[in-house]
A and B are shown apart, each in its own frame.
Chain A
Amino acid sequence: MNSGVDAPDEEASENGAASAGKADDADVPDAVDVVGVDEAVAGGSDESAADGTTHEPETQDSAVERRAAETPPDVRLQVRNLRKSFGGVVAVDDMSFAVEAGTITGLIGPNGAGKSTTFDCITGAHEPDGGTVRFNGEDITGLRPDQIASRGLVRTFQIARELPEMTVLENLMLAPPDQVGERLWRSVVPGARRGVVEQERALRDRVWETLEFFEIDHLARQEAGALSGGQRKLLEMARAMMTDPDLLLLDEPLAGVNPTLEEKLLDRIHDLRDQGYTFLIVEHDMDVIMDHCEHVIVMHQGSLLAEGPPAEIRSNERVIDAYLGEDLE
């Protein structure tokens, strides 16, 4: 049960570069007897208290664990036993799942299931109370958002957060990592600036390509604050793509987007997946998730309810009871 919280720090760093599969194998035996360490890491007596409630779906959890342990090394993201509470409210409780490279994975669940909090914990906006997040085999639990993003795990927001007083072009130019001109002296000292200008030219060309890909090039010179809600969603995705992420977390990318634009956005996501990008999408629209994701993760009351291919989820009794109900009939 606690095995995800297991990894004492040294082990985490040792295994940092190792494949996820290997690390997981090592974890399983530890799980039984390292409770003391667990508490030190997770920092909480409330953890063991909360454990009582989560013991009940034991069989399923260990199945998940076994599956996770068996996953091939091309696992992009591995979340294990993630916990986060706000005051007395446990928003995410012992959540474990994995995202495989090159897939579109959907994360669904009723309102308040803890999807956005899970996102926030993965991307560093919140520090999880317990559990581990591994990205490309590296433990990124508790890192700052910028550290996580610079490792290639980039997110968008539920309510699009454009940079309102910057133009669409500037919004996209901001995103690429490792810009030499982000060093102050490089931007100022006359001789050193030449390299900055060259890089800026190359980036500008990429920005225009990306804008054309998302078909918002006609808005390029507008300030982002003047865009419509749907356009902002496109902008945000375009901006995230400019970082060339290994995994893109999209928090309700279709909320407030009209059907035409929705089609366009989904097409783009599929195109990008075909190019090798990986997506984890939180979405309310069941049809979208079922039609477009290879793998679906269902959250309920802060923990994992079920996961599998869409067809399997559709027929899962527990999912239907808890969430889908007549929606799917």
Chain B
Amino acid sequence: MTHRLRPDGGARGSGDADREPSGVRGSGGDASGSDDDDRGSGDGGRGTPRGKSAAGAVRDAVERTLGGNDLAVVLATLGAIYLLFTLFVLVANDFEITTSTINAIASTLRLLTFFAASYAVLALALNLHWGYTGLFNIGVAGFMAVGVYTMGLLSSPPDATSGMGLGLPLPIGIIGGMVAAALVGLIAALPALRLEADYLAIVTLGLSEIIRLTMNSGQLSSWTVETFGFGTGGGSGLNLPARPTDALFEGGAGEALLATLTGMGVRRSIVVDAAYLFVVIAFVVGVYWLLSRVGASPFGRVLKAIRDDELVARSLGKDTRLFKIKVFMLGCALMGLGGILWQGSYGYVNPNSFRPIVTFYVFVAVIIGGSGSNAGSIVGSILFVGLLFEGPRQFGGIVQNAMELGDAPATFAGAVGPLTGLDPTPLLAYGLENISALQFVLLGVVLIVIIQRRPDGVLGHRTETAAAVDLGERPAAGAAPDASRDSATDAGSASGSGGDADE
């Protein structure tokens, strides 16, 4: 039967849709012909519309080159953004390659990667809620705040300048933060998950603001119980423990390495920050691994069923309430972790970092990448940070410097007025001066375009099969005419998935 579904599967061999469960968790080296051939058939019906446009042809070419390997897609996206920003920095420095230019490039790319990685953790967590289970959680920032503040309250030294902590070891703080975020998630979930999806949205948004305002409140800024200090610091924020990686460079081999590198002209902060960056990237990989496993399992299958039609899942005997509560708590814990990795790394935090706009940004990242796809969430985070979050500011700065537009007018009228005299310079200067505000316009436009033109995200339609084994494998008895061929394929994929499973 399968051969009938295979008009272009072998030729394209992209297998983009079905690759993930084994492809990425495996070495990536198993993108071999037989496997692809089998899986390619699944998306055979979708090949035609894609081939119509020039953009589609380019995309096909890219997909063929990348072999549908998600790791390659992520790295290629990151590489493209790196290239763009390297170019920005070079233009800003008039292409003079000096130590300071190289430092500037390194620090720009470091910052980009840090933001992208932080957003990736959050986007993956949100994708678990929204993309996988259809839970419309717009309280991401609130759960981040719970994570960061709990970590701070547990691990900050009691004699911090602002706020007071218990001075417990950092791992306890981090785990505590995640547990607290999960528990707050539970509190939100218990009443809200019984209601329709819209109410969950309202409850989570409200909760996130309540959390932020609570952190802001003067009443909680410092408590003293006996001799025991404890407080959020209110509006003036909370001191947090230093990044654990910073200690690596104090004494020993770390200090020596740092000395060598700074001797070569590398800025100290770049080395120290990069060390932390690797930690965050490791967490992204870990969260990705975890969620891929969750997705490719019977548990993940129930989540997808809840998203598609909860009544069907219930009518098949699944207690969907339990699944929703579990997945909500898991996602909230990961949001707490994301908050700790990001906002928890500055040594200081205040409630303004957790405005609802942060939630919105994470949603944009997930939408760009395509909800329901873990790899898409990471790609979406990179693209969001590169093109929408950091890109416009950098670009605006460069143009401003390059064109020497003079002082920007203070008001919109002042900017538009000279247009009557056909002088666009003040308007341009005004626009560039206010580029961070214009960013929101850009963001809106991009969202509208994506939702209209590519509702499945930039990676297109993806199927990350919710099963722990390759479902396409038929039992040998069932495949009559092309039995030999199928069983050969089966043997190949069986060893592949078996290896994944036992890792």
Contacts and interface: CB of A to CB of B under 8 A. Distances in A.
Contacts of A91: none
A149 B316 contact: yes
B489 interface: no
A161 B478 CA distance: 27
A154 B317 contact: yes
Interface in B468-493: 468-469, 471-475, 478
B313 to A, nearest CB: 7
A212 B478 CA distance: 8
Interface residues of A, number: 57
B312 interface: yes
Interface residues of B, number: 52
Contacts of B317: 146, 149-150, 154, 177, 243
B304 A194 contact: no
Most buried by A among B42, B307, B468: B468
State the 6 A-B residue pairs at the shortest beta-carbon distance, nearest first: A187-B297, A181-B298, A149-B317, A150-B317, A163-B308, A197-B501
Given A194-B501, A200-B467, A217-B478, A187 B313 contact: no
A10 interface: no
B319 A187 contact: no
B320 A187 contact: no
Contacts of A212: 478
B246 interface: no
Nearest to B1: A218
For the complex, would chain B's binding face be called helix, strand, loop or mixed by DSSP majority? helix
B305 interface: yes
A187 B463 contact: no
A140 to B, nearest CB: 13
Given A174-B305, A200-B467, A218-B1, A187 B298 contact: yes
A188 B294 CA distance: 6
Contact of A146 (B41, B319, B474): B319
A174 B302 contact: yes
B411 to A, nearest CB: 50
B311 interface: yes
Contacts of A144: 314, 319
Given A174-B301, A182-B299, A221-B42, A169 B471 contact: yes
A200 B298 contact: yes
A155 B1 contact: no
B318 interface: yes
B216 interface: no
A169 B1 CA distance: 15
A201 B498 CA distance: 10
13 contacts: A123-B315, A149-B317, A157-B315, A161-B312, A165-B307, A173-B466, A177-B317, A186-B299, A188-B293, A197-B498, A201-B469, A221-B42, A243-B316
A184 B326 CA distance: 8
A221 B313 contact: no
A119 to B, nearest CB: 11
A223 interface: yes
B4 interface: yes
A265 B312 CA distance: 21
A302 interface: no
